[in-house]
Amino acid sequence: MKITNMSQDTQPLGGHDGPYDAPVEIHGFALQPDWIDYNGHMNVGYYGVAFDMAFERLLVDHLGLGEPQVAAMGQGPYVLQSHMQFLREVTPDMTIHFRFRLLDADQKRGHYFGQMVSMPDEKVCATQEVLFMNVSHETGRSAPYPDWAVRRLARMVSDHKALPLAPEIGQPIGIRRKESG
């Protein structure tokens, strides 16, 4: 892989400087037939695939990151942690879209919350909360984003700050038991 420029003063690779919709909505997704399992709904593994495809569109179309960043700079986002909650079945007759909110970001990392939403009823089918990090493909270690990307990430966090917190954000995983007494 040819790395053209690793400096912090590279030019943006697409996207825009904001303002960013709050939340950012990503449309144009069709369920693939092989995503449907023997229960007649979307298989659990494909929720992650769908969220990943939608997040890549946010990265490329709005922030100028993702695949163009890897091709031009030899660095890109790696997911460090992901937590999904499944709230409603997704069936083959449904159309879905996504809403994303950037909760936090710094020089190397970002924290987002996404919702998979059915159309036309606008019900949330699943949520995903993710911590991601910019990683150099040359070293395999974290790398700072270029300055323009840091500014865009900070702008998106700021533009999304006024959104109400969804109850699924920051939820622990575990068996909830009623206390007897």
**CA-based angle 14:131:104, to the nearest 5?**
70
Q: What is the pLDDT along the chain (181 residues), one digit of tens a residue?
A: 344 444 555 899 999 999 999 999 999 988 899 999 999 999 999 999 999 999 999 999 999 999 999 999 999 999 999 999 999 999 999 999 999 999 999 999 999 999 999 998 999 999 999 999 999 999 999 999 999 999 999 999 999 999 999 999 999 998 989 887 6
Cβ–Cβ under 8 Å, residues 90 and 118: yes
For residue 33, whether the previous peptide bond is cis, meaning omega lies within 30 degrees of 0, is no
Which helix H or strand E contains 55, and what residues bound it?
helix 44-58
d(CA 125, CA 107): 32
Residue/partner pairs of 31-37 with CB below 8 Å, 24 or more apart: 31/90, 31/92, 31/94, 31/95, 31/96, 33/92, 36/91, 36/92
Cβ–Cβ under 8 Å, residues 113 and 103: yes
d(CA 153, CA 162): 16
Structure confidence at residue 181 (pLDDT): 63
Domains of the chain from N-terminus onward: 24-160 (3.10.129.10)
Other residues' Cβ atoms within 10 Å of the Cβ of residue 40: 9
